[in-house]
Amino acid sequence: MDVKALAAKAKKVSRDFTKTVAGGGEYTPPAAGPVSLRFVGYYEIGIHEKEIKGVTKTNEKVQLVFELSGKNYPVKDNGEPLRMTITENLTQNVKSNIIKIFNKMNYEGTATHFTELLGNAYRGRIYHTEKEYDGKKVVYANLRNEDGYSITPPVVEQVDDEGNVTTKKVKVAEPVSELKAFVWDLASKEMWDAIYIEGEYEEKKDEKTGKVIRPAKSKNVIQETIMSAKNWIGSPMQVLLDDGEPDLGDEDDEDPEVVVEKAKTEKKEKPKAEPKAETKKTTAKKAPAKKQPEPEPEPEVEEDETEDDDDPLAEIE
């Protein structure tokens, strides 16, 4: 997909992130420590429910995807890089995590939307957190700790013997993944097709009992997550997939002048005694060419101003 064209459109008509409002199993986590990052995916996934500390909250969500590189983060045997996904509330609350992340990533101050930053290089640090899952202790990796997200410009500071500080640019691996995005209000067939992931993860059975301990699962997680959103029905993408483009018939292929002359001939030949019937017939013929009405905009979701800062580890994936 043409990410630059999408970014230009999003910059004009989508949200401006510089403007804020007051208010387990076989999983092996990436190694803890400093890491090079490449921003390769931005997905607005709609409104979802999540239970935090026993309270169910409903928020609009967004996912940011980064490729990892560096000494401790080699590409896998299939040539795919390690990736990490950040999921946060999509809001313009000045205190929210997503705005703090945007400000860190937009260190040059030239962007107003995340899509303009796709492909950019960053530095970060991976932290390990131990949590209990299905009665077992599992180590999770995240790009933040209690002090916030570790994303920084792709430079390191060097201090000489006299205490002078200089910065040195860090070389970050070029992106392996195709840059992709899904902007909810700018949904298009091209955007939708680009985020489709073919195939499924095979089921896993216990070697001794033969019991299925992990069922087969589709790899098409981004589209399926979007379609599971509470505001999917009636969304621009759902309406586009359901209705598609209107069928204008074979007249589209005719020469315009021929169509005009044909209309004049039909008008002369029609019986004078039946003008109303002819008018009704003509209207019915033209009806499919009417432009489909634009979908009603989804209502804004009121953001809990303190949710993002209550528990900095609550959103660990």
What is the Cα–Cα distance from 189 to 155, expressed in whole angstroms? Answer: 38
Q: Are 240 and 187 in contact (CB under 8 A)?
A: yes
- 108 and 35: one domain? yes
Token readout for 281 is 């017939």
Token readout for 51 is 């239970």
Read off the pTM.
Answer: 0.69
Q: What is the pLDDT of residues 37-58, one digit of tens each?
A: 999 999 999 999 988 888 999 9
pLDDT at 41: 97
Token readout for 260 is 């005009």
Torsions phi, psi of 265, nearest 5? -60, -45
- 149 and 60: one domain? yes
Token readout for 261 is 């002359």
Which of 231, 224, 229, 167 has its CA nearest to residue 197? 224
- 236 and 91: one domain? yes
Question: How many CA atoms lie less than 13 Å away from 293 in the CB half-sphere?
Answer: 4
Q: Are 120 and 106 in contact (CB under 8 A)?
A: no
The residues near 160 (Cβ < 8 Å, ≥ 6 apart) are: 166
What is the Cα–Cα distance from 117 to 6, expressed in whole angstroms? Answer: 12
- How many domains does one find in the chain? 2
User: What DSSP designation does 134 have?
Assistant: T
What is the Cα–Cα distance from 126 to 150, expressed in whole angstroms? Answer: 8
Distance of CA 150 to the CA centre of its chain: 21
- 97 and 217: one domain? yes
Instruction: Give the amino acid at 80.
Output: E
Q: Are 36 and 69 in contact (CB under 8 A)?
A: yes
pLDDT at 166 over 60: yes
Q: Would residue 190 count as lying in a domain?
A: yes
Bridge-based pairing state of the strands 55-69 and 83-89: antiparallel
pLDDT at 280: 42
Quick one: which H or E segment has residue 281?
helix 275-286
Q: Would residue 11 count as lying in a domain?
A: yes
- 115 and 183: one domain? yes
- 173 and 79: one domain? yes
- 145 and 258: one domain? no
- The whole domain housing 32 covers 3-240+297-310
Report which of residues 182 and 260 the model is more confident about. 182
Q: What is the pLDDT of residues 144-161, one digit of tens each?
A: 999 999 999 999 888 888
Q: How many other C-beta atoms can be found within 10 angstroms of the C-beta atom of residue 276?
A: 8
Report which of residues 8 and 279 the model is more confident about. 8
pLDDT at 125 over 90: yes
Which of 164, 157, 125 has its CA nearest to residue 143? 125
Cα 169 to Cα 12, 54, 172, distances in angstroms:
31, 45, 9
Q: What is the pLDDT of residues 205-253, one digit of tens each?
A: 878 888 887 888 899 999 999 999 999 999 999 999 998 654 444 444 4
- Most distant CA pair in the chain: distance in Å? 103
